[in-house]
């Protein structure tokens, strides 16, 4: 008998028909002799509505009450799913975050899980009862309800799988797995049978929305075998696994893109020690994350410095830098949100050369100008004008031999 965790996202529990179909899927695992813990999201659209209501009431809602409101979507689905299971003869009960308990810190709206005592869940499952856990929520200091950040029920599921030492954590969604790139843009995109934790982490943090980034981190740290698959079909999904489980590793496994970044160029900044610190110090003090950075060589004692921030932080970035005008000398500040970051990702890069060069050449052949470059051990990212997103993705997908 194996213990498994099955997580169902918003579209998989969008209405009563879908919830009934989820119950039948859970029943199949139970009938196969497995102990099942189910983690559910709110029905699709519900969390957005709840967030909107808090914003209608308060410009900056009290984070503790915000969590009480937005956590409620998962409570509804947990109860309905337990009912649906009971209706087809499967003993089931719901658990809210505090009942498990899923213990978190007090950073409301983005709480981190500290520990999950599993006695109550194990007791339930050992008695042959399916435990249906409300995802996305936990309990923080002072017994306050907390939530784990948008998309957080993926993290609930992986954390539970780790705590329960589950054999598998199946994440059911509305796509049938992880693709080499966005299939809505590249028709030749291919579903991957397996992907390594590290690649998945890069894909998730670079814009592939299929798993919450933190859930991948957690899976990697605890070696949880995650499978991403569709609740709308019976096709096998994508397994997220350790590198040594992948026999034939491609050099590049996937290409991600993010339209969420914006570029800022400071023209003719004085080129002397301490300048970078004077620019990035105030930004980090303002909790603005900087991603890519380039600095040109200097010939006349000044230099151009370009970097990227989240699009949502662009206005604030400009404001912070303008406030530094007294101490920071520069000729002009040029914000540009018409950019996209494209990244090629693959653990095979560690042992192969020429990966970056192929990217540069492919883009050059299409006449696409590269504005900023950054690299890490397993990825190469470039910033280009947003209008070239589709062209660049398709050309790179072909160049790296990923087309079906
Ligand atoms: N319902 C929450 C959200 O929409 C959590 C989740 O679905 O993972 O962000
Ligand atoms: Mg999700």
Give pLDDT tens digits for 193-250. Answer: 999 999 999 988 876 678 999 999 999 999 999 999 999 999 999 999 998 887 777 8
* Contacts (Cβ under 8 Å, ≥6 apart) of 396: 255, 342, 344, 359, 362, 363
Is the Cα torsion angle 198, 203, 207, 211 positive or negative in sign? Answer: negative
Q: What are the angstrom distances between the C-alpha of 51 and each of 48, 133, 150? A: 5, 21, 10
Residue 93 Cβ < 6 Å to ligand 1: no
Residue 97 Cβ < 6 Å to ligand 1: no
CA angle 10/151/53 to nearest 5° reads: 75
Residue closest by Cα to atom 6 of ligand 1: 151
Q: Which ligand is nearest to the CA of 69?
A: 1
Q: How many Å lie between the centroid of ligand 2 and the Cα of residue 151?
A: 4
The pLDDT of residue 275: 85
The pLDDT of residue 207: 67
Residue closest by Cα to atom 8 of ligand 1: 151
Distance CA 277, CA 308 (A): 16
Q: Tell me if 177 sits within 8 A of 152, measured CB to CB.
A: no
Summary mean pLDDT of the chain? 94
Q: How many Å lie between the centroid of ligand 1 and the Cα of residue 244?
A: 32
Q: Tell me if 214 sits within 8 A of 364, measured CB to CB.
A: no
Give pLDDT tens digits for 92-136. Answer: 999 999 999 999 999 999 999 999 999 999 999 999 999 999 999
Domains of the chain: 3-174 (3.40.1160.10)
* Contacts (Cβ under 8 Å, ≥6 apart) of 30: 36, 90, 130
Q: How many Å lie between the centroid of ligand 2 and the Cα of residue 7?
A: 10
Q: How many Å lie between the centroid of ligand 1 and the Cα of residue 39?
A: 11
* Contacts (Cβ under 8 Å, ≥6 apart) of 383: 261, 263, 292, 308, 339, 340, 341, 370, 371, 372, 373
Q: Which atom of ligand 1 is nearest to the CA of 150?
A: 9
Give the orientation angle of helix 314-323 with respect to helix 275-285, to 10 degrees: 130
């Amino acid at each position: 008998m194996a213990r498994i965790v099955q997580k169902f996202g918003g579209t998989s529990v969008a209405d009563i028909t879908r919830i009934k179909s989820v119950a039948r899927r859970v029943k199949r695992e139970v009938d196969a002799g497995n102990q099942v813990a189910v983690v559910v999201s709110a029905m699709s659209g519900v969390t957005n509505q709840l967030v909107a209501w808090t914003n209608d009431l308060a410009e900056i809602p009290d984070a503790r009450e915000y969590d009480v409101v937005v956590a409620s979507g998962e409570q509804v689905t947990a109860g309905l799913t337990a009912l649906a299971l009971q209706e087809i003869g499967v003993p089931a009960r719901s658990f809210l975050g505090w009942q498990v308990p899923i213990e978190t810190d007090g950073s409301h709206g983005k709480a981190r899980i500290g520990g999950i005592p599993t006695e109550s869940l194990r007791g339930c499952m050992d008695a042959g009862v399916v435990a249906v856990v409300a995802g996305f929520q936990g309990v923080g200091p002072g017994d306050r309800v907390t939530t784990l950040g948008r998309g957080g029920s993926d993290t609930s599921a992986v954390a539970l799988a780790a705590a329960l030492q589950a054999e598998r954590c199946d994440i059911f969604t509305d796509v049938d797995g992880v693709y080499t790139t966005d299939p809505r843009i590249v028709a030749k995109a291919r579903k991957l049978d397996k992907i390594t934790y590290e690649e998945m982490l890069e894909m998730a943090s670079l814009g592939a929305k299929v798993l919450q980034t933190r859930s991948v981190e957690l899976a990697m740290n605890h070696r949880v075998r995650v499978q991403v698959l569709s609740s709308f079909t019976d096709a096998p999904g994508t397994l997220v696994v350790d590198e040594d489980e992948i026999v034939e590793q491609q050099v590049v496994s996937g290409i991600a893109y993010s339209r969420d970044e914006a570029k800022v160029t400071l023209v003719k900044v004085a080129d002397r020690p301490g300048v970078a610190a004077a620019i990035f110090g105030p930004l980090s003090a303002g909790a603005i994350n900087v991603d890519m950075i380039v600095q040109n060589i200097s010939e006349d004692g000044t230099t151009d410095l370009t970097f990227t921030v989240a699009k949502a932080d662009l206005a604030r970035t400009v404001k912070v830098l303008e406030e530094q005008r007294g101490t920071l000398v520069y000729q002009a500040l040029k914000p540009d949100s018409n950019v996209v970051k494209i990244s090629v990702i693959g653990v095979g890069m560690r042992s192969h050369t020429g990966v970056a060069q192929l990217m540069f050449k492919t883009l050059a052949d299409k006449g696409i100008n590269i504005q900023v470059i950054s690299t890490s051990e397993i990825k190469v990212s470039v910033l280009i004008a947003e209008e070239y997103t589709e062209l660049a993705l398709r050309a790179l997908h072909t160049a790296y031999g990923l087309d079906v």
